[in-house]
Amino acid sequence: MSETETLLLGQVLDIHANPFEAPPEEAARHERRGAVLLRGSAIVETGPAEKLQKAHPRAQVIDHGDALILPGFVDSHAHYPQTAIIASWGKRLIDWLNSYTFPEEMRFGDPEYAAEIANRYLDLLLAHGTTSVASFCTIHPASVNAFFEAAAARNMAVAAGRTCMDRNAPDGLRDDAQSAYDESKALLERWHGRGRGIYAITPRFSPTSTPEQLEALGSLWSEHPDCPMQTHLSEQTDEVEWVRELYPCKRDYLDTYEAHGLLGPGAMFGHAIWLTDNERARLRASGAALIHCPTSNTFIGSGIFDTARAMGEGQIVGLATDTGGGSNFSMLHTMAAAYEIGQLAGAALHPAQLLWLATEGSARAMRAEGRIGTLRPGTDADLVVLDLASTPAIAQRVARAETIWEAVFPTIMMGDDRAIASVYIAGERYDALVPGGDGGGHSRKLHPLISDSLGL
């Protein structure tokens, strides 16, 4: 049986090479009037619209006009249970966890509440053009089940796992080494590889795990090495000092993971700001990924992550919101923050580099670049379509643009969910949800899942 062919027309920007390794302008191909050919759930080909239309006269055509077709955004570090406490005022990391995060996470033992937030969160992601995410859940298996079920209902490729903590957390949010192992294993067996789901082994961070718990999770990872492992590393200086006190025999923060089998390909370390040269060298050699969370690093006051330095060292780097320590669900906003932090660190990141980090960079960090994050033939058709003139402020700037980079950069810096004209998940279209209007003037039919969960 032949599968349906669909041709999406619009501007197409294919960043086919790593723009930190090749000159950014050479790493990308832009078609002013381009096309992406889909067959079923997969991308088959990209190229000039005229050529692809001639070659595929029977394909269904969806014309996005002047809008820009890109791979969907990939958020490689987030906490979906923190959706309802995003933008909570005035605390730094440890106080922020104790004041806002832990009380909210306590609520996720209730499967109904977990399902409500998981559905709300994934709809917010789609409305912001994010098609994949690696998310922490809470300690409760119900929070993991709710998240994978909500993702499966939208056919989204997500990675997620039960967040393990056996010390320095309140009653009701602590497990122990054995139960962390047992419950993580049961959830992994249930969800890993089911549909588009990936189970991520998830110790929260060394301050909330005993060495025994890290050891148990290291064993679980050695039994399932194709799973990613996600945690936090060296986010704030107070935290690094605390880890030194909690683990006096370890040479540094990274060693608290390394010594327990939690360093290697597929490890994703959120933040990774306050690293020694030696830690940087071991991270690089191990094939682990550093996840840059720029809105969180400014919002909670953590510090400056030097993206250009990390890429220059050959680190694997993903880009992420870190919802709700991060202050925005939007990967556009996150790219803007990465640009500004790059300026503070001494390097102006090119729009191709920002877009690459938000798509293939994050997909590589999740070891999923063969499936998501690019326009490569054979990968899943998870796409975002950007309106490059979504507000009067952006439109008046774009009117002066002479290159695609000048046309897309104002949307990176000033865009929000109004810039999302459409998203496609595995070839299926979900129109963007733009509160209060139809944004770029595209026809908008809300997917029933989106309208239901937001009560529209």
What residue ranges bind ligand GUN (CB under 6 A)? 79, 93, 97, 101, 204-205, 232, 235, 296, 300, 322, 325
Helices (H) and strands (E) in the chain, counts: 18, 17
Q: Is 207 or 361 the residue whose CB approaches ligand GUN more closely?
A: 207
Separation CA 250–CA 256 (nearest Å): 6
At closest approach, how far in Å is the CB of 213 from Zn ion? Answer: 18
Residue 235 contacts which entry, Zn ion, ligand GUN, none (Cβ below 5-8 A, type-dependent) = ligand GUN
Which residue number, 282 or 292, has a Cβ lying nearer to Zn ion? 292
Residue 356 interacts with, from Zn ion, ligand GUN, none (CB under 5-8 Å by kind): none
**Contact range with Zn ion by CB under 5 A, out of 89-97, 316-324, 340-348, 372-380:** 316-324
322 binds Zn ion (CB under 5 A): yes
**Closest approach of ligand GUN to the CB of residue 271, in Å:** 7
How would you class 401 by CB atoms within 10 Å of its CB: exposed for 0-12, middle for 13-18, buried for 19 or more? middle
Closer Cβ to Zn ion, 143 or 453, answer by number: 143
Q: What are phi and psi of 72, to 5 degrees?
A: -60, 150
Q: What is the DSSP string of 329-398?
A: S-HHHHHHHHHHHHHHHT----HHHHHHIIIIIHHHHTT-TTTSSS--TTSB--EEEE-TT-SHHHHHHH
**107 and 95 Cβ atoms separated by less than 8 Å:** no
- Minimum CB separation of residue 243 from ligand GUN in Å reads 11
Per partner kind, with CB cut-offs from 5 to 8 A, the member of ligand GUN, Zn ion, none near residue 453 is none
Return the one option of Zn ion, ligand GUN, none that residue 101 interacts with (CB less than 5 to 8 A, by type): ligand GUN
CA gap 422, 430 in Å, rounded:
6
Among Zn ion, ligand GUN, none, the one that 361 touches (CB under a kind-dependent 5 to 8 A) is none
Q: Show the tokens assigned to 7.
A: 């041709």
**Any bridge partners for residue 236, and if so which?**
none
Find the shortest distance in angstroms from Cβ 156 to ligand GUN: 21
CA angle, 323 then 306 then 272, to 5°: 55
* CB 286 to ligand GUN: min, Å: 21
In the complex, what is the shortest distance from the CB of residue 79 to Zn ion, in angstroms, rounded to a whole number?
Answer: 6
Nearer to ligand GUN, 24 or 81 (CB): 81
The first and second tokens of residue 331, run together, are: 């990967």
Closest by Cα among 298, 3, 143 to 151: 143
Q: How many residues bind Zn ion (CB under 5 A)?
A: 2
Backbone angles phi, psi at 283, to 5 degrees: -60, -45
Considering the complex, what minimum distance in angstroms separates the CB of residue 137 from Zn ion? 12
User: What whole-number distance in Å separates Cα of residue 298 and Cα of residue 148?
Assistant: 30
As given in the structure block, the two tokens for residue 404 are 């695609």
Taking the complex as a whole, how short is the minimal distance between the CB of residue 297 and Zn ion, in angstroms?
A: 11
Give the binding range for Zn ion (CB under 5 A) out of 83-91, 160-168, 314-322, 337-345.
Answer: 314-322
With CB atoms as reference, the residue minimizing the distance to ligand GUN is: 325
Q: 386 — phi, psi (to 5°)?
A: -100, 130
Could you tell me the strand order of the sheet in which 42-48 lies? 42-48, 28-39, 5-15, 60-71, 383-386, 420-425, 428-431
Q: Which is nearer to Zn ion, 123 or 322 (CB)?
A: 322
CB nearer ligand GUN, residue 257 or residue 405: 257
Indicate the DSSP class of residue 324.
Answer: T
> Is the separation of the CB atoms in 331 and 289 below 8 Å?
no
20/121 with CB nearer Zn ion: 121
| x-marked contacts with Zn ion along 264-283 as a string, rule CB under 5 A | ------x-------------
Give the nearer residue to ligand GUN in terms of CB position, either 70 or 320.
320
One-letter amino acid at 195 equals G
> Residue 153, exposed/middle/buried by CB under 10 A (0-12, 13-18, 19+)?
middle
Nearer to ligand GUN, 236 or 453 (CB): 236
Instruction: Count how many Cα atoms sit within 13 Å of the Cα of residue 396 in the half-sphere of its side chain.
Output: 2
Q: How far is the CB of 98 from ligand GUN (least distance, A)?
A: 11
Q: How far is the CB of 254 from ligand GUN (least distance, A)?
A: 15
Q: Is 417 in the site for Zn ion (CB under 5 A)?
A: no
Q: Which is nearer to ligand GUN, 296 or 453 (CB)?
A: 296
At its nearest, how many Å lie between Zn ion and the CB of residue 231? Answer: 9
Is the Cβ of residue 97 or residue 198 nearer to ligand GUN in the bound state? 97
Structure letter (DSSP) for residue 4: P
Where do contacts with Zn ion occur on this chain (CB under 5 A)?
A: 270, 322
